[in-house]
Amino acid sequence: MQDVVVVGAGPAGTLAARMLANRNYDVLVMENHKVPGLPQHCTGLISEETLRMSGVKPDIFNTFHAAEFVFPNGKSIVVRSSNTKAVVVDRADLDMKMAEAAADAGARFAYSTKYSSHEVKDSVFVDTDNATYKARMLIGADGASSSVALTLGENRPKEYVRGIQVDVEKEMDDQDTFKVFLGNDIAPGFFAWQIPCGDFTRIGLCTSWDAGLPSEYLSRFLIDRGLQGKVSKVYSGKIPLGGRPFLCGDRCMLAGDAAGFVKPLSGGGLYPAFKANEHLVRVLSACLDANTLTSKDLSEYTRACNSDFLKELNHAYGFRRKFKKLSDDNFNRIYDYIMKYNLVPTLNELDIDHPANALRKVLSNPKAIFSGIPLYMRTLR
């Protein structure tokens, strides 16, 4: 019998497995696919802090000191820093190296093994498509469409967005700046991106679930921006936003996208997932040692996450709700507002792990309080 079975060999699952194995727990990671990291869904754009938290050194395609935000009217704002704003990593390589690090720590892996269900008795029995595993504890790290999460009750996120991206064999002149494109004709309910990666460029977008096929928006975007070229890879997927109501049950905890740990304004999930794992491992270790693994015993995990970062994510989701209601004219007014009140220096403080902080500063700037934009944003529900 294992101490812990982890469902999913993505970064959240393998980091939890490594941390628990380092504490001498017997850990088994089961993964539906043949290898970790494939198929790839994420852009790979992360902060240096998130990279550090991963504990591994994946291949890095590029580093950035600037981000350019392009508004529907074609005007743009460049946010720049002397420090590195972000790096774009080879996500498949990141996932692979995190799995290897977990294995080096002592975790075992069962690939091509699909979770079916589980039953809690005096331990947890995890049924898969080819075997049943017995463990003291189950961690659901099975991504945005988590099956484990749905066993905890009515546990869906507030919404999903749909995304698609392509790697185009096209080299950008400016390799130090990634671009974000705003507008409802481009990516209704979210945004599009253009990320230089040396001799290729990663281009994609997300849209609200009911906005239509992201692939159709992306095809138009590539043509309109003159970004056509030979496509070497295509990625697609969905992103859960707004969190999930329940993070744990009897002998069960959730991690990463399965727990809804995603930044609502950017769709990034690695940073909050890694933050949460610190609390997951601390709480679970204490409960394993005390052999107290009920939902009540494990609920300290929820409290710790709320105190650390979930309140910030919930606040950011409030901005997300307002963002979805902005028209292209509203976006252009925000551009005018930023330029009129010289708020670009405030935006230069943008931290991709905490994007709501810069937005909050912009909307509360005392020089701009009478512009009408902050008041208008407060009226959106």
Write the pLDDT tens digit of every residue in 224-234. Answer: 999 999 999 99
User: How is 217-281 classified by DSSP, letter by letter?
Assistant: HHHHHHHHTT----EEEEEEEEEEES--S-SEETTEEE-GGGGT---TTT---HHHHHHHHHHHH
The reply to whether omega before 39 is within 30° of 0 (cis) is yes
Complete edge-to-edge strand list for the sheet that includes strand 86-89: 45-46, 86-89, 60-64
Domains and CATH numbers, the chain: 2-44+90-158+244-319 (3.50.50.60), 62-88+159-240 (3.30.9.10), 326-379 (no CATH)
CA atoms 152, 164, 305, 37: torsion sign:
positive
The answer to whether 202 and 164 are in contact (CB under 8 A) is no
Contact in structure between 284 and 298 (CB atoms under 8 Å): yes
Task: Measure the CA–CA gap between 175 and 173, rounded to whole angstroms.
Answer: 6
**Residue 100 identity (one-letter amino acid):** E
Residue 380's pLDDT is what?
Answer: 53
Contact 217, 198 (CB under 8 A): no
Of 107-111, 187-191, 226-230, the range with the lowest mean pLDDT is 226-230
pTM listed for this prediction: 0.94
The mean per-residue pLDDT over the stretch 259-282 comes to 97
Partners of 80 in beta bridges = 66
Give the residue from 244, 30, 42 showing the smallest Cα distance to 141: 30
Closest C-alpha among 207, 188, 184, 224 to residue 328 = 184
Helix-, strand-, coil-residue percentages of the chain, each rounded to 5: 35, 25, 35
Strands 231-241 vs 159-168: parallel, antiparallel or unpaired:
antiparallel
| Mean pLDDT on 199-204 | 98
| b/e map 105-137, b = 16+ CB within 10 Å | bbbebeeebebeebebeebbebebeeeebebbb
Whether residue 38 is predicted with pLDDT greater than 70 in this model: the reply is: yes
Percent of the chain with pLDDT over 70: 96
Residue-wise pLDDT tens digits, 131-174: 999 999 999 999 999 999 999 999 999 999 999 999 999 999 99
Token pair listed for 194 = 């253009």
Q: Provide the CA 119 distance to its chain's centre, in angstroms.
A: 29
8-state DSSP, 381: -
Least confident of 45-49, 60-64, 72-76, 79-83: 79-83
Q: What is the DSSP letter of 211?
A: G
In angstroms, the CA 257 to CA 247 distance is: 11
Classify 37 in phi/psi space as left (phi over 0), alpha (psi -120 to 50) or beta: left
% residues pLDDT > 90 (the chain): 85
Alpha helices in the chain (DSSP H): 11-22, 48-54, 91-105, 147-150, 214-224, 270-290, 295-298, 300-305, 311-324, 328-340, 344-347, 355-363, 373-379
Task: Tell whether the model's pLDDT for residue 368 goes beyond 70.
Answer: no
